[in-house]
């Protein structure tokens, strides 16, 4: 490669296939089988992260209990098969995810324990690398949401152990093994490990920022899922990073400069906080949501923005699954609070009164249905254009997104993301057929 050749931006797509979908994979009824990742899509991706593995009771990398290993192998072989369309494509598996690792999860203890001693770390790392080799993966992504402050040093030690063992694994002729994590996209979750970020980053190829879920039914007012910039009308927060026990202590002046407070919880705020922590921009990957979040009983002022709402906030949804009028898929999934980009496009095309707006300052779209008093915050090709311009401005490695199965049939979001990241390709009219 010529010295001047700029590294291709990464496009990291999470591929979710839950246990029951794996077990019934051969029945042809899978919602989003690997075959839905068309050759064209495979050529627009640099990484696919299979979600999720868990840590077993024995402290090892494993399929979720009750997963049929033969069917899992079929799925993984199909994922590896995508490389025939794109020789540079890397397929990693992701361990964890919200359900297995949030503070109230039944299995979060396994993560804390696995990181808490050198024996446990060595055993987990060894099992993950064996799993990776056995199924032909190209690396490991850890999606622990989130290590607590008291877990942070152990978390660094775990990453070091995995990296140490990966270095021992010969990988002649194929792309080097990679180790990545999914990391907090908001200052509150970021605060837990903030002071360890340089040490965490040193072990990693990429840090996938979950710069979404910035607002949801847990907030008093409606606001955006993943707005790039703030708005003077939105709720501001005291900056939790300012209160961290920095050693040596930072002067009041430095604290005020580094951690503006109060501040708006935005994508830009998160990226700047990672950069100020000393994380190399070239390891940062900007997370994009392929889903939107719906709020109910929302007043019409400001087209539903920054209004009170009545949306059940619990992890398991209780209430009418049909609240998001017109979203049959949401009703089938029994949760009207999360709509895929595909669902949202259908709602906007329907005669049900969903109107879309775009924030001149926040650079994200939203929907308000005055008749049904429904507010939906989401992302689209327009907000992605602004986010790609932003990530290029700060020299980030590229984009990640949650998740592949939420795009529309044609894969419009992925294509717009790819084209904005690779404008030279789009000049040649469509995805370059990378034949290798
Ligand atoms: C990492 C993650 C996101 O987890 C999703 C769950 C946790 C889903 O979370 C998200 O979609 N989060 C979007 C942001 N992504 C992440 N937090 N993490 C991430 O992107 N990592 C790369 C939430 C909104 C959800 O639907 O949770 C419901 C209760 C509301 C829950 C927990 O019952 C659940 O319901 C379904 C939809 C049936 O899915 C399962 C899970 C049991 C699976 C296991 C969780 C999953 C994949 O839907």
Percent of the chain with pLDDT over 90: 92
Q: How confident is the model at residue 425 (pLDDT cuts 50, 70, 90)?
A: confident
Q: Measured in angstroms, how far is the CA atom of residue 99 from the centroid of ligand 1? A: 6
The pLDDT value given to residue 4: 57
Specify the ligand 1 atom closest to the Cα of 335: 30
Q: What is the mean pLDDT of residues 11-39?
A: 96
Percent of the chain with pLDDT over 70: 96
Residue 3, pLDDT > 80, answer: no
Burial track 64-95 (b if 16+ CB lie within 10 A, e otherwise):
beebbeebbeebbeebbebbebbeebbbbbbb
Nearest CA to ligand 1 atom 9: 98
Q: What is the mean pLDDT of residues 402-423?
A: 97
Specify the ligand 1 atom closest to the Cα of 287: 20
The pLDDT value given to residue 385: 98
Q: What is the mean pLDDT of residues 189-205?
A: 98
Q: Measured in angstroms, how far is the CA atom of residue 402 from the centroid of ligand 1? A: 10
256 labelled catalytic: no
- Average pLDDT taken over every residue of the chain: 95
Lining residues, ligand 1, CB within 6 Å: 14, 16, 18, 97-99, 143, 145, 182, 210, 212-213, 315-317, 333, 335, 338, 402
The pLDDT value given to residue 435: 37
Q: How confident is the model at residue 427 (pLDDT cuts 50, 70, 90)?
A: low
Give me the interface pTM, i.e. the ipTM.
0.96
Considering 5, 64, 78, 145, which one is annotated as catalytic?
145
Angle at the Cα of 351 (from 345 to 352), degrees rounded to 5?
85
The pLDDT value given to residue 7: 81
Q: pTM of the predicted model, to two decimals? A: 0.96
Specify the ligand 1 atom closest to the Cα of 213: 14
Q: What is the mean pLDDT of residues 34-60?
A: 98
Residue by residue, what is the 3-state secondary structure of the chain? CCCCCCCCCEEEEEEECCHHHHHCHHHCCCCCCHHHCCHHHHHHCCEEEEEEEEECCCCCEECCCCCCHHHHHHHHHHHHHHHHCCCCCEEEEEEECHHHHCCCCCCHHHHHHHCCCHHHHHHHHHHHHHHHHHHCCCEEEEECCCCCHHHHHHHHHHHHHHHHHHHHCCCCCCCCCEEEEEEECCHHHHCCCHHHHHHHHHCCCEEEEECCCCCCCCCCECCCCCCCCCCCCCCCECCHHHHCCCCCCCCHHHHHHHCCCCECCCHHHHHHHHHHCCCCHHHEEEEEECEEEEECCCCCHHHHCCCECCCCCCCCCCCCCCCCCCCHHHHHCCCCCEEEHHHHHHHHHCCCCCEEEECCCCCCEEEEECCCCEEEECCCHHHHHHHHHHHHHCCCCEEEEECHHHCCCCCHHHHHHHHHHCHHHHHCCCCCCCCC
Q: Measured in angstroms, how far is the CA atom of residue 348 from the centroid of ligand 1? A: 24
């Amino acid at each position: 490669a010529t010295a001047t050749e700029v590294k291709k931006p990464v496009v990291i797509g999470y591929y979710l296939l839950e246990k029951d979908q794996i077990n019934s994979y051969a029945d042809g009824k899978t919602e989003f089988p690997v075959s839905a990742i068309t050759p064209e899509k495979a050529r627009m991706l640099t990484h696919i992260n299979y979600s999720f593995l868990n840590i077993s009771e024995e402290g090892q990398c494993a399929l979720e209990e009750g997963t049929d290993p033969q069917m899992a192998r079929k799925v993984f072989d199909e994922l590896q098969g995508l490389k025939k369309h794109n020789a540079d494509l890397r397929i990693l598996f992701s361990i964890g995810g919200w359900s297995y690792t949030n503070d109230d999860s039944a299995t979060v203890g396994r993560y804390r324990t696995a990181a808490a001693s050198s024996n446990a770390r060595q055993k987990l790392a060894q099992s993950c690398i064996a799993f990776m080799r056995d199924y032909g993966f190209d690396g490991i992504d850890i999606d622990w949401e989130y290590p607590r402050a008291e877990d942070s040093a152990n978390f660094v030690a775990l990453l070091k152990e995995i990296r140490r063992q990966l270095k021992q694994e010969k990988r002649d002729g194929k792309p080097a093994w990679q180790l990545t994590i999914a990391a907090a996209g908001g200052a509150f979750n970021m605060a837990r490990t903030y002071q360890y970020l340089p040490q965490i980053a040193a072990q990693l190829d990429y840090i996938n920022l979950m710069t979404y879920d910035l607002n949801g039914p847990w907030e008093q007012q409606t606001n955006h899922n993943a707005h790039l910039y703030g708005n003077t009308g939105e709720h501001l927060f005291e900056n939790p990073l300012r209160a961290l026990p920095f050693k040596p202590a930072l002067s009041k002046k430095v604290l005020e400069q580094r951690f503006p407070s109060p501040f708006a919880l935005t994508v830009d705020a998160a990226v700047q906080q990672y950069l100020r922590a000393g994380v190399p921009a070239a390891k940062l990957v900007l997370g994009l949501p392929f889903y939107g979040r719906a709020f109910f009983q929302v007043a019409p002022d400001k087209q539903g923005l920054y209004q009170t709402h009545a949306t059940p906030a619990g992890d398991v949804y209780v209430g009418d699954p049909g609240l998001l009028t017109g979203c049959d898929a949401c009703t089938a999934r029994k949760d009207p609070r999360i709509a895929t980009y595909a669902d949202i496009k259908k709602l906007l095309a329907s005669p049900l009164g969903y109107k879309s707006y775009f924030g001149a300052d926040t650079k994200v779209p939203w929907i308000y249905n005055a008749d049904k008093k429904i507010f939906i915050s989401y992302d689209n090709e327009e907000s992605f254009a602004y986010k790609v311009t932003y990530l290029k401005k700060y020299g980030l490695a590229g984009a990640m997104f949650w998740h592949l199965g939420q795009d529309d049939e044609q894969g419009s979001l992925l294509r717009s993301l790819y084209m904005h990241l690779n404008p030279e390709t789009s000049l040649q009219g469509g995805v370059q057929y990378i034949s290798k």
